[in-house]
Structure 1
Amino acid sequence: MTVKILSDSACDLPDEIIEELDIEILPIIVMKDDKEYLDKVTIEPKKMYDDMRKGVVYKTAQIPPKVFEEKFEEIAQKGESTIYVAFSSGLSGTYQTAVLVRDSLRDKYPDMDIDIVDSRSASVGFGLLVHKAGMMAKEGKSKEEILNMLDFYVKHIEHIFTVDNLEYLLRGGRISKAEAFVGGLLDIKPILDIPEDGTLRPIEKVRGRKKLLKRMIEIMEERGGHADLKNQIIGINHGDDLEGALRLKEMIEEKFGCKDFIINIIGCAIGAHSGPGTLSVFFLNEKYEE
């Protein structure tokens, strides 16, 4: 039986990959004032970033329990073997809600075959898990094989990213007002990652864009130098800064000889909190053995 791969819009995979691998995506809610939108369904990232540059504030909300209930009931009634790969529990309540809803349906659907995986990752770092799961499902791999792969990826996926405007991190409580003020004056940019607990962590501060990208590559080498980076699929995404993303890609190609990339704009679910100009790179810190 083919395994169905289900995920949510915080994985930020390009539409063509989602369609090619027949991955189903549940949209996260994005809010402007009192109006709700569905990420990449009723609002596109470019529109949100243009608004944010004008000072418009966007917020997000997790997928409602009712949406999970309807989707899980549909899956149970069809008898589909499913893996739902969820946005990090360290950044959203989506994973916990999905588990609660699934478990509440057990009595009604005792044969329901849905595994829920906490990606403990975000954006295309999360997307690399979903992409690999979709590829393995298309190849006819068993659910056990896909779950074992996901367990490895969760433990070894690296996120290295930066934001262009510290104001968005300030709103999210990630930095202090003093740090945001001084950073803005001195052109200081933070480098952040997502550790194994799936939360957000500032790790360094760098002054100036050129030094920033160079340091991101250095950290990539420090963390992935023994992971056969050349033969990995490297994830890169951006907050409406394709030029910066392509420059980062060129630097990675020059340094490591990488050939395969997934590059995409950051969707509204993540971009509402990171803002325009964000740049990220994602990779494994250990080689995955098929």
Structure 2
Amino acid sequence: MIKITTDSTCDLPVALRGENNITVVPLGIVKGERVYRDGVDIHPADIAAHVDAGGDITTTSAVNTADYHELFSNLLKEYDAVIHINLGAGFSSCHQNARIVAEELPGVYVVDSANLTVGIGELALRAARMAREGRAPEEIVAELESLRDRLEVSFVLDRLDYMKKGGRCNSVTAIGANLLKLHPCVEVIDGKMSVTKKYRGSIERVVTEYLHDRLDGRTDIDTERVWLVDTAFSPALADIAREVLRADGRFGTILEGKAGCTIFSHCGPNTLGIAFFHKKSID
């Protein structure tokens, strides 16, 4: 048997984790002088309350080698192999730490998702399906590495103060963007985050425009399913996005997830994104 593991940045709903026997390792979230476990003893609402009260933005801490060693060692007592799918190596040292441990433990395979949030989660779900089908670990890893190149993950931000507090944009940029009601669209490209467009107006209007930009006229989208993910505390944005996706009419399944503390720490509330695969190219 093969066990699939991933980290908390996957943003997979708890029900899907359970149905697919996926174990999620929490990243550390540093608030004040204490390190919390993402999704275990800290949640996005805790971060929002802290920041709204004037506190510094929380930061993230990678899973260390000792925790990976304990996890993988225990799982290998029950499973023939473990396939671990990490937050992209360009975003965290989690992947490097997991690989160090995998070199010491035969039977552990580590995959760099080169991605964020439900992009990681979708790869974990595909891995779990392949494991149930009885495919070999090496075959699953190779397929995951092929699939990640077909993933398209993007999101649009409502606020820039979290990025400013986290040092990812300067104060002048943040103030200017807020005054102009600018909302950057961020896309994961080659394992890195890139701003590909800036929208103007209310976030509700921007979400609709953003989704039409990502979907309309496209013939390269694998329409088996699409992911919708957000950091909003109100259902309003997800409701708007869901209707756009339904009206598009092409997707067989619309899956939804809530971004956890890792994404929230950098993007803040009312961030919304989608993820899907490109069609497999035919040589």
> TM (normalized to structure 1)?
0.88
1:211 Cα deviation (Å)?
4.6
* Structure 1 residue ranges (4+ consecutive) displaced by more than 6 angstroms after TM superposition: none
For 1:223 and 1:159, locate their aligned partners in 2 and report how far apart those are by CA, in whole Å: 18
Are 2:194 and 1:201 equivalent residues in the alignment? yes
130-139 or 243-252, which deviates more: 130-139
Are 2:221 and 1:227 equivalent residues in the alignment? yes
More helix by share: 1
Once the two structures are superposed, the pairs formed by residues 49-198 of structure 1 within 5 Å of their partners are 49-56=48-55, 57-78=57-78, 80-103=80-103, 105-106=104-105, 112-196=106-190, 198=191
For 1:16 and 1:76, locate their aligned partners in 2 and report how far apart those are by CA, in whole Å: 24
For 2:246 and 2:157, locate their aligned partners in 1 and report how far apart those are by CA, in whole Å: 22
1:252 Cα deviation (Å)?
1.5
Q: Secondary structure at the match of 1:37?
A: strand
Q: Secondary structure at the match of 1:88?
A: coil
Distance 1:253 1:149, change over 3 A: farther
Which among 251, 255, 267 is matched to residue 262 of structure 1? 255
Distance 1:246 1:211, change over 3 A: closer
Question: What one-letter code is carried by the residue in structure 2 that aligns with 1:225?
Answer: T
Which among 227, 241, 255 is matched to residue 248 of structure 1? 241
Equivalent residues of 1:160, 1:192 under 8 A apart: yes
Distance 1:49 1:236, change over 3 A: farther
For 1:259 and 1:247, locate their aligned partners in 2 and report how far apart those are by CA, in whole Å: 19
For residues 177-228 of structure 1, give each alpha carbon's deviation from its aligned partner in whole angstroms, at most 9, with x where no partner exists. 32211110010110110102x1111111110135522332233226953223
Q: Secondary structure at the match of 1:281?
A: strand
Question: What one-letter code is carried by the residue in structure 2 that aligns with 1:128?
Answer: E
For 2:217 and 2:80, locate their aligned partners in 1 and report how far apart those are by CA, in whole Å: 38
236-245 or 134-143, which deviates more: 134-143
Question: What one-letter code is carried by the residue in structure 1 that aligns with 2:271?
Answer: T
Partner of 1:214: 208
Question: What one-letter code is carried by the residue in structure 2 that aligns with 1:245?
Answer: A
For residues 76-119 of structure 1, give each alpha carbon's deviation from its aligned partner in whole angstroms, at most 9, with x where no partner exists. 4445211100111111110011111222x25xxxxx21110000
177-186 or 42-51, which deviates more: 42-51
1:168 Cα deviation (Å)?
1.6
Q: Secondary structure at the match of 1:115?
A: strand
Equivalent residues of 1:161, 1:280 under 8 A apart: yes
56-65 or 210-219, which deviates more: 210-219
Distance 1:76 1:234, change over 3 A: same
For 2:81 and 2:88, locate their aligned partners in 1 and report how far apart those are by CA, in whole Å: 22
Q: Secondary structure at the match of 1:228?
A: strand
Question: What one-letter code is carried by the residue in structure 2 that aligns with 1:200?
Answer: M
Are 2:235 and 1:236 equivalent residues in the alignment? no
For 1:55 and 1:266, locate their aligned partners in 2 and report how far apart those are by CA, in whole Å: 22
Equivalent residues of 2:208, 2:240 under 8 A apart: no
1:43 Cα deviation (Å)?
1.8
Equivalent residues of 2:3, 2:75 under 8 A apart: no
Partner of 1:285: 278
Q: Secondary structure at the match of 2:192?
A: coil
1:47 Cα deviation (Å)?
3.0
Structure 1 unpaired stretches of 5+: 107-111
For 1:52 and 1:235, locate their aligned partners in 2 and report how far apart those are by CA, in whole Å: 28
Structure 2 unpaired stretches of 5+: none
> TM (normalized to structure 2)?
0.90
Question: What one-letter code is carried by the residue in structure 2 that aligns with 1:92?
Answer: S
138-147 or 203-212, which deviates more: 138-147
For 1:53 and 1:158, locate their aligned partners in 2 and report how far apart those are by CA, in whole Å: 32
